[in-house]
Structure 1
Amino acid sequence: MSQFTKEMLAQIDQTTQDEFDLGTREAAKRKEGSRRNAYQKGLREVQDVAGKDAARELAEWIQDEIRTAERFPTARNVRKRGAKICREHGHEISTGSWLGA
């Protein structure tokens, strides 16, 4: 995992700590593996396709979802948003890509 991706995940983790009480964080930790994997994969894929600015935009969207909706975005929502961000930055997403799934 790149240092950039680690930093983006650390910011998402900090948002989780800021926004949720301990009980909610404990429940989230039980699901953390799949959630964190989806966020990591999404950030990496978006960065590979559209660059760091686009990946940062995805990380900010994930944080905004945690803050405003008070929920964790699903892997599907991360894929859809990541693909949308890439397209907005002028990049095609292949159907074989994790973002295009």
Structure 2
Amino acid sequence: MPDDRAGRDKQAQDEENRQRMRAMLEELERGDETEPPVEEAELDALDAELDAVTFPATGLELVEAVGYHEVESAEGTRDLAELLPRSEREEYDSPEAVRARVQRPTIAAAMRRIVEAADELGGVEFGSSQREGYERTFRELQAIDAVDDDEGIPVVADWVVERIREKEKLPGSRDVRRRAAKFCRSSGYEIRDDEWLGV
């Protein structure tokens, strides 16, 4: 490129476009995250309690060791026993994994119910990709302003638990998304086809 005004303008425009693209990509990465309702001070207090636990630890071991510990969030106070499943199949590698699980108490409580229902069946495997799909669906429900007080999360969790007990298997991630979308539409919220719930 020649070192003249047009060349310098082109380089400046290219750099501006690259910065805009980086900013857009960062925004897209953050776009499906909701702000955790649990404050850092609460999570620091939890870390102090978890120092007494040997990791990796199962959900059952954690509930027995620190299940009494209360976590304060925007949604109220909950014991860890309400947020972590009493399961020997659910394992946490570190205190950070527990911390990440309880950052969103409404979602953690819903996932606890689902994991415990799946445990009742014994042979049902709850894979990480399926779990991530369920959690993303719950995060999407939580992010929808039109659905007040995260009421969609327990509705969808109830549906998942019923399906597990009736059909003796976990519903697919797409089925859970459809049920969440149905709830949103019945609450007056429009779901676009290009959204996670738009299946």
Structure 1: which amino acid aligns with 2:119?
Answer: Q
Aligned to 1:34: 129
Q: Which is bigger in relative contact order (C-alpha 8 A, separation at least 6)?
A: 1
Aligned to 2:104: 2
Identity of aligned residues (%): 29
Rounded to whole Å, the distance in 2 between the matches of 1:7 and 1:66 is 17
Rounded to whole Å, the distance in 2 between the matches of 1:36 and 1:66 is 14
**1:53 pairs with 2:148:** no
Deviation, structure 1 residue 13? 0.7
Deviation, structure 1 residue 63? 0.6
Q: CA RMSD in A?
A: 1.4
Contact 1:54 1:89 in 2 (8 A): no
Deviation, structure 1 residue 8? 0.8
Aligned length, in residue pairs: 94
Unmatched runs of 5 consecutive residues or more in structure 2: 1-102
1:7-86 correspondence runs (5 A): 7-18=109-120, 20-21=121-122, 24-25=123-124, 28-29=125-126, 32-49=127-144, 50-51=147-148, 52-86=150-184
Deviation, structure 1 residue 7? 1.2
- After TM superposition, the runs of 4+ consecutive aligned structure 1 residues lying more than 3 A away are none
Which structure's residues are more often strand, by fraction?
Answer: 2
Aligned to 1:100: 198
Structure 2: which amino acid aligns with 1:39?
Answer: Y
Which structure's residues are more often helix, by fraction?
Answer: 1
Query: Structure 1 length normalisation: TM-score?
Result: 0.84
Unmatched runs of 5 consecutive residues or more in structure 1: none
Deviation, structure 1 residue 82? 0.8
Deviation, structure 1 residue 47? 2.1
**1:96 aligned counterpart, secondary structure:** coil
Query: Structure 2 length normalisation: TM-score?
Result: 0.45
